[in-house]
Structure 1
Amino acid sequence: MALSKNPAAWLTVLIALVLVPLVPSSAQATWPRTTVSSWITTPDRARLLDPGPSPVFRRHGSSNQTTITVDERQRFQSIDGFGASLTDSSASLLYSLSESQRDDVMASLFDRTDGIGMSFLRQPIGSSDFVDGPHYTYNDLPDGETDFDMSRFSIAHDEVRILPLLRQARALNPSLKVMATPWGQPAWMKENNSTIGGRLKDDPDIFAAYALYLLRFVEAYEDAGVPIYALTVQNEPQHGDPDGYPGTDMPVEHQAAIIEKLGPMLDDAGYGHVKILSFDHNWALHPDDPGGNPRYPYDVLKSQAVTWIDGTAYHCYAGSPDAQTALHDSFPDKDIWFTECSGWHGNDDSPAKYFSDTLRWHAQNVTIGTTRNWARAAINWNLALNSQGGPANGGCGNSTTGKCTGVVHIDGTTVTRNAEYYNLGHMTKYVRPGAVRIGSDNAGDIHNVAFKNPGGTIVLVATNIGGSTQTFTVSWSGRSIEYTLDSGAVATLTWRA
Structure 2
Amino acid sequence: MRDITMYQSNGENELFVEQSVAQLPQLSGDTVTATIEIDAGQTYQEIDGFGASFTDSAAYLIHQVLDGEQRTELMSKLFDPQDGIGLSFLRNPMGASDYARTVYSYNDLPENGTDPELSGFSIAHDEADIIPLLQQALKLNPEIKLMASPWSAPGWMKTSGSMLTGQLKPEHYQVYADYFVRYIQAFAAHGLPTYAVTAQNEPLYEPQHYPGMLMLPEEQLVFIRDYLKPSFINHGLDTRILCYDHNWDRPDYPLTVLEEAAAEVDGVAWHWYGGAPAAQSEVLAAYPGKEVHFTEGSGGEWIPPFEQAFSNVMRTGIEILRNHSKSFVLWNMALDEQNGPTVPGFGKSTCRGVVTVNQQTRELTYTLDYYALAHFSKVIRPKALRLDSAASNELVRSVAFRNPDGSVAAVLFNDGEAEETVAVKLQGEEVLTFSMAPKSAVSLKVDSK
Q: Does 1:258 align with 2:223?
A: yes
Q: Does 1:99 align with 2:68?
A: yes
Q: Does 1:246 align with 2:211?
A: yes
From 88, 111, 126, give the equivalent of 1:143. 111
- Alpha-carbon displacement from aligned partner over 1:243-288 (angstroms, at most 9, x marks no partner): 41110110112111211211121122121x2110000000015xxx
Q: Does 1:218 align with 2:174?
A: no
What is residue 272 of structure 2 aligned with on the other side? Answer: 316
Secondary structure at the counterpart of residue 211 of structure 2: coil
Provide the rounded CA distance (Å) in 1 between the counterparts of 2:369 and 2:41. Answer: 31
What is residue 408 of structure 1 aligned with on the other side? Answer: 355
Quote how far apart the aligned CAs of 1:35 are.
3.9
Q: Does 1:236 align with 2:205?
A: no
Return closer, same or farther for 1:243/1:108 CA change in 2, 3 Å cut-off: farther
Where in structure 1 are there 5+ consecutive unaligned residues?
A: 1-32, 286-293
Provide the rounded CA distance (Å) in 2 between the counterparts of 1:496 and 1:126. Answer: 43
Provide the rounded CA distance (Å) in 2 between the counterparts of 1:175 and 1:378. Answer: 15
Provide the rounded CA distance (Å) in 2 between the counterparts of 1:475 and 1:225. Answer: 43
What is residue 246 of structure 2 aligned with on the other side? Answer: 281
Secondary structure at the counterpart of residue 255 of structure 1: helix
Provide the rounded CA distance (Å) in 2 between the counterparts of 1:236 and 1:346. Answer: 20
Q: Does 1:329 align with 2:285?
A: yes
What is residue 70 of structure 1 aligned with on the other side? Answer: 38
What is residue 384 of structure 1 aligned with on the other side? Answer: 334
Provide the rounded CA distance (Å) in 2 between the counterparts of 1:324 and 1:54. Answer: 39
- Alpha-carbon displacement from aligned partner over 1:286-316 (angstroms, at most 9, x marks no partner): xxxxxxxx6111101101x221111000000
What is the letter of the counterpart of residue 294 of structure 2?
Answer: F
**Preserved CA contact (<8 Å) 2:389 2:398:** yes
What is residue 366 of structure 2 aligned with on the other side? Answer: 417
What is residue 385 of structure 2 aligned with on the other side? Answer: 436
Give TM-score, length-normalised by structure 1.
Answer: 0.85
Equivalent residue runs for 1:11-30 within 5 Å: none
What is the letter of the counterpart of residue 256 of structure 2?
Answer: D
**Preserved CA contact (<8 Å) 1:38 1:54:** no
Computing the radius of gyration from Cα coordinates, the structure with the larger value is 1
From 237, 252, 261, give the equivalent of 1:295. 252
Provide the rounded CA distance (Å) in 1 between the counterparts of 2:436 and 2:177. Answer: 49
Provide the rounded CA distance (Å) in 2 between the counterparts of 1:45 and 1:454. Answer: 33
What is the letter of the counterpart of residue 299 of structure 1?
Answer: T
Provide the rounded CA distance (Å) in 2 between the counterparts of 1:196 and 1:55. Answer: 57
Quote how far apart the aligned CAs of 1:54 are.
4.6
**Preserved CA contact (<8 Å) 1:35 1:54:** no
What is residue 117 of structure 1 aligned with on the other side? Answer: 86
From 433, 438, 441, give the equivalent of 1:487. 438
Provide the rounded CA distance (Å) in 1 between the counterparts of 2:150 and 2:368. Answer: 27
**Preserved CA contact (<8 Å) 2:313 2:372:** yes
**Preserved CA contact (<8 Å) 2:8 2:14:** no
Secondary structure at the counterpart of residue 226 of structure 1: coil
Provide the rounded CA distance (Å) in 2 between the counterparts of 1:487 and 1:388. Answer: 31
Secondary structure at the counterpart of residue 279 of structure 1: strand
Q: Does 1:449 align with 2:399?
A: yes
Provide the rounded CA distance (Å) in 2 between the counterparts of 1:358 and 1:187. Answer: 37
What is residue 88 of structure 1 aligned with on the other side? Answer: 56
Which stretch shifts more, 276-285 or 37-46? Answer: 37-46
Secondary structure at the counterpart of residue 105 of structure 1: helix
What is residue 321 of structure 2 aligned with on the other side? Answer: 371
What is the letter of the counterpart of residue 484 of structure 1?
Answer: S
Provide the rounded CA distance (Å) in 2 between the counterparts of 1:160 and 1:64. Answer: 55
- Alpha-carbon displacement from aligned partner over 1:32-55 (angstroms, at most 9, x marks no partner): x22432111122222433325358
Provide the rounded CA distance (Å) in 2 between the counterparts of 1:265 and 1:175. Answer: 27
Q: Which has the higher contact order (CA 8 A, sep 6+)?
A: 2
**Preserved CA contact (<8 Å) 2:297 2:331:** yes
Secondary structure at the counterpart of residue 338 of structure 1: strand
- Alpha-carbon displacement from aligned partner over 1:45-103 (angstroms, at most 9, x marks no partner): 224333253589x9x97775321100001100000000000000001111211112111
Which stretch shifts more, 383-392 or 72-81? Answer: 383-392
From 106, 126, 149, give the equivalent of 1:181. 149
What is residue 307 of structure 2 aligned with on the other side? Answer: 356
From 3, 8, 11, give the equivalent of 1:43. 11
Provide the rounded CA distance (Å) in 2 between the counterparts of 1:105 and 1:50. Answer: 19
Which stretch shifts more, 81-90 or 324-333? Answer: 324-333
**Preserved CA contact (<8 Å) 1:359 1:423:** yes
Quote how far apart the aligned CAs of 1:145 are.
1.5
Give TM-score, length-normalised by structure 2.
Answer: 0.94
**Preserved CA contact (<8 Å) 2:79 2:137:** yes
**Preserved CA contact (<8 Å) 1:41 1:50:** no
Q: Does 1:267 align with 2:224?
A: no
Secondary structure at the counterpart of residue 398 of structure 1: coil
Provide the rounded CA distance (Å) in 2 between the counterparts of 1:48 and 1:496. Answer: 19
What is the letter of the counterpart of residue 444 of structure 2?
Answer: L
Secondary structure at the counterpart of residue 350 of structure 2: strand
Provide the rounded CA distance (Å) in 2 between the counterparts of 1:64 and 1:138. Answer: 58
Secondary structure at the counterpart of residue 405 of structure 1: coil
What is the letter of the counterpart of residue 428 of structure 1?
Answer: S
